[in-house]
């Protein structure tokens, strides 16, 4: 069943197409995303560097678990992980057993579908990781038991794949659904390590078994994925990598060409059209930005190992954007769905980028990470540079619609431009702030999309640090930067949004100078409106005003219904609001204006189980101006 490897054989796919091309490693030395030279270099790194040894130990540990685990494939595919939250409070569920799922906040227990099948999503994902790491363990150790178990898992899936019902997130048999998973996105994420693992052990398998795995699993899955056609989107980037990796692994040139060169949705089109001139992925979320980077690199590496270089300058710019938008500690501002985490958390991607482009700033991110990751082991350089993690100068990303205003110890991040497609939030002129050593102005980001709270709060305008007009959501429109000025120890931006509310123009001017942020928000209309200026920050909120409890809810819709513990009152002169948290504090100093009503309360935070203090300043008229000083002294 298992043929002895031959170093001299030319490996052919099911279609008889050589997997190696001129200029690439020979077929027997080229294992899709890695070759013999890189494996030997990784061994040397692991012998001499603790971080590389730890990364290799992780691979071998997971491979051993794959050897020891029983091989029992689920009887059906997995479901969408975004269903796996409490429908009442949005908190992610805990798995008590494969058929019992409990909310850690309220204790509600869920059974049945879709929750039971979400657990299977994890089971299938674990098998994919087993295949990859078993293949890597075989190449690192030469122990054939690893290759044998990888082949058994691959053969089991090849035998079962066609019998798994295609299903989408609603359980329907429709294009866009997968067989292993509930959507082609997750099917793609699953297929990439499976294709890689197959290529690592391919030359240990007998020819009939290779043919079955290539035709009945890799190509079959690629066709399910390819049937679902999307344009420029992070999902299509994952689909391209899955189809392309399966094509390279199975010797199917048509799949490779479709994944890389399709004019509307291929890899090259994604880079040319999906990456803005600032280097930010067009959806405007640093979480989806890094998710897209994670999708692109496997296909770029597979192509590189077969003699095609996809690492152009526009692709490189994707690694610049997270640094341009990072807060002083490396955190992302949190805009839009999946607002992203600390840049160091994607240090594995910067390992690969530093190896390919040798830009010192990429190496500095890698240096800050533990380096205990697969990319560091397989591609990372032994020596990485030290230095500042985040740029010290202000940055305007005009094409993407973001600005980072920086002074030593003080930062204001503004979102004004591209809406961001399906993952955009109605929050033009939203402001996130940093001072006194921590983040204050918070964007809530997003939670699992399958629960009502995500749409009701996280996608509401009032949940963001901007102005809501007449208690309604902003329209999905773009804004623009009108003025940008740096120098003399200060940075100023004026940005506007003239189409997010009918007949209303919103303009915000922000200046960062020293340890203060000067903030003027102007609202102009020919008709009367109610303007609500909101600010969300962690910690204990106090004000100089005499606020009384109530009303129970400020309003019943558009996110307002989720503001709890409301107090309200009126302001006649200048006044202040102060937040205190973990020994730090900052103060908003608000200029007097006629007919000012003030509300305080608490809304859901980045974790829906948390409550974050909110301040809402309300004025009514045709025009309104909110003059606020953010003081971090």
**Confidence at residue 10, expressed as pLDDT on a 0 to 100 scale:** 30
Domain residues for the domain of 223 are 23-73+124-228
339-352 per-residue burial string, b: 16 or more CB within 10 A, e: under 16: bbbbbbebbbbbbb
**Domain edge (last residue) among 203, 228, 253:** 228
Name the strand (E) or helix (H) holding 509.
Answer: strand 504-513
Residue 159 burial class via C-beta count within 10 angstroms: exposed 0-12, middle 13-18, buried 19 and up: middle
User: In the prediction, which pLDDT does 595 show?
Assistant: 87
The answer to the question of residue 186 being in a domain is: yes
- Buried-state track 388-426, b at ≥16 Cβ within 10 A, e below 16: ebbeeebbbbeebbbbbbbbeebbbbbbbbbbbbebbbb
In this model, does residue 410 exceed pLDDT 80?
yes
HSE-CB for 452 with a 13 A CA cutoff: 8
Task: Report whether pLDDT(25) > 50.
Answer: no
DSSP, collapsed to helix, strand or coil, labels residue 234 as helix
- CA atoms of 542 and 551, how far apart (whole Å): 18
Convert the pLDDT of each residue in 163-217 to its tens digit.
Answer: 999 999 999 999 999 999 999 999 999 999 999 999 999 999 999 999 999 999 9
- pLDDT for the residue numbered 175: 97
- Kindly state the average pLDDT of the residues 52-68: 98
pLDDT band at 27 (very low <50, low <70, confident <90, very high): low
The number of residues in the chain equals 633
Rounded-to-integer distance, Cα 40 and Cα 28, Å: 15
DSSP sequence for 69-134: S-----SS----GGG-B-TTT-PBPEEEETTEEE-TTT--EE-STTHHHHHHHHHHHHHHHHHHHH
Q: What is the CATH number of the domain that holds 185?
A: 1.50.10.100
pLDDT exceeds 90 at position 1 = no
The residue with tokens 């929050």 is 427
Q: How confident is the model at residue 255 (pLDDT cuts 50, 70, 90)?
A: very high
Q: Is 271 helix (H, G, I), strand (E, B) or coil?
A: helix
86 part of a folded domain: no
Q: Are 251 and 16 in contact (CB under 8 A)?
A: yes
Question: Which of 178, 200, 228 marks a domain boundary?
Answer: 228
> How large a percentage of the chain has pLDDT more than 70?
96
pLDDT tens by residue, 494-524: 999 999 999 999 999 999 999 999 999 999 9
Q: Is 84 contained in some domain?
A: no
Which stretches within 169-227 are classed as H helix?
A: 184-201, 207-213, 220-227
Q: Is residue 371 part of a domain?
A: no
> For residue 29, what is the DSSP state?
G
Instruction: Report the number of distinct structural domains present in the chain.
Output: 2
Where among 228, 256, 272 does a domain terminate?
228
Q: Which of 158, 73, 157, 161 is nearest to 123 (CA)?
A: 73
For residue 86, name the pLDDT band (cuts at 50, 70, 90): very high
Residue 520 sits in a domain whose CATH number is 2.70.98.70
How remote is the C-alpha of 30 from its chain's centroid?
Answer: 30
Tell me: pLDDT of 628 over 70: yes
Within a domain: 204:
yes
Say what percent of the chain tops pLDDT 90. Answer: 94
6 pLDDT above the threshold of 90: no
Is it the case that residue 26 has pLDDT exceeding 60?
Answer: no
In a domain, 51, yes or no: yes
- The pLDDT score that the predictor gives to residue 350 is 98
Q: Is residue 47 part of a domain?
A: yes
HSE, side-chain direction, 13 A CA sphere, residue 137: 25
> What average pLDDT does this structure show over 285-308?
97
Over residues 300-304, mean pLDDT: 98
Average predicted confidence (pLDDT) for the chain: 94
- What confidence score (pLDDT) does residue 249 get? 98
Q: What is the pTM of this model?
A: 0.93
| 376 assigned to some structural domain | no
Do 293 and 349 contact (CB within 8 A), yes or no? yes
């Amino acid at each position: 069943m298992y043929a002895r490897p031959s170093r001299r054989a030319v490996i052919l796919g099911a279609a008889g197409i050589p997997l190696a091309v001129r200029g690439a490693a020979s077929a027997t030395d080229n294992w899709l995303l890695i070759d013999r030279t890189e494996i030997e270099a990784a061994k040397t790194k692991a012998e001499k560097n603790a971080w590389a040894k730890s990364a290799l130990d992780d691979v071998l540990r997971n491979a051993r678990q794959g050897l020891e685990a029983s091989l029992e494939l689920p009887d059906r595919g997995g479901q969408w992980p975004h269903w796996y939250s409490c429908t009442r409070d949005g908190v992610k569920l805990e798995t008590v057993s494969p058929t019992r799922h409990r909310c850690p906040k309220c204790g509600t227990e869920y059974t049945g579908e879709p929750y039971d099948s979400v657990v299977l999503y994890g089971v299938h994902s674990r098998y994919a990781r087993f295949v990859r790491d078993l293949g890597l363990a075989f190449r690192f150790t030469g122990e054939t038991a690893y290759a044998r178990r990888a082949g058994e898992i691959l053969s089991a899936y090849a035998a079962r794949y066609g019998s798994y019902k295609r299903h989408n997130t609603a359980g329907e048999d429709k294009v866009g659904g997968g067989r292993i998973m509930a959507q082609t996105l997750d099917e793609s994420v699953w297929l990439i390590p499976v294709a890689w693992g197959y290529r690592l052990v391919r030359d240990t398998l007998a020819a009939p078994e290779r043919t079955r795995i290539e035709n009945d699993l890799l190509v079959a899955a690629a066709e399910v994925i390819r049937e679902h056609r999307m344009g420029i989107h992070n999902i299509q980037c994952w689909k391209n990598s899955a189809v392309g990796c399966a094509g390279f692994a199975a010797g199917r040139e048509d799949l490779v060409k479709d994944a890389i060169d399709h004019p509307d949705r291929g890899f090259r089109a994604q880079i040319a059209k999906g990456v803005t001139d600032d280097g930010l992925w067009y959806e405007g979320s640093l979480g989806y930005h890094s998710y897209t980077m994670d999708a692109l690199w496997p296909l770029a590496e597979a192509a590189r190992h077969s003699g095609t270089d996809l690492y152009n300058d526009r692709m490189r710019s994707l690694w610049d954007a997270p640094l341009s938008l990072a807060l002083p500690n490396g955190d992302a501002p949190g805009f839009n769905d999946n607002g992203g985490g600390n840049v160091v958390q994607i240090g594995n991607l910067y390992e690969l980028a530093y190896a390919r482009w040798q830009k010192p700033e990429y190496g500095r991110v890698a240096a800050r990470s533990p380096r205990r990751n697969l990319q560091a082991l397989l591609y990372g350089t032994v020596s990485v540079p030290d230095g500042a993690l985040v740029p010290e100068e202000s940055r305007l990303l005009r094409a993407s619609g973001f600005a980072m205003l920086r002074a030593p110890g003080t930062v204001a991040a503004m979102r004004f431009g591209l809406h961001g497609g399906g993952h955009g939030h109605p929050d033009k002129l939203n402001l996130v702030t940093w001072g006194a050593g921590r983040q204050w102005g918070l964007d809530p980001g997003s939670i699992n999309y399958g629960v009502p709270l995500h749409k009701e709060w996280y996608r509401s305008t009032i949940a963001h640090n901007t102005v809501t007009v007449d208690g309604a959501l902003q329209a999905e429109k773009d804004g623009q930067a009108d003025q940008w000025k740096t120098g003399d120890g200060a940075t100023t931006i004026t940005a506007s949004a003239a189409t997010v509310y009918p007949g209303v123009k919103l303009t915000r001017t922000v200046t960062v100078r020293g340890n203060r942020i000067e903030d003027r928000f102007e609202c102009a209309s020919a008709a009367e409106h109610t303007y609500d200026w909101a600010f969300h920050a962690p910690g204990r909120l106090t004000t100089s005003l005499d606020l009384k409890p109530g009303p129970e809810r400020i309003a019943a819709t558009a996110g307002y219904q989720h503001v709890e513990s409301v107090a309200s009152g009126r302001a006649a002169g200048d006044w202040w609001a102060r937040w205190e948290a973990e020994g730090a504090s900052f103060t908003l100093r608000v200029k007097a204006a006629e007919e000012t009503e003030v509300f305080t309360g608490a809304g859901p935070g980045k974790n829906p189980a948390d409550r974050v203090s909110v301040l809402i300043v309300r004025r009514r008229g045709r025009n309104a101006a909110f003059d606020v000083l953010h003081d971090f002294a």
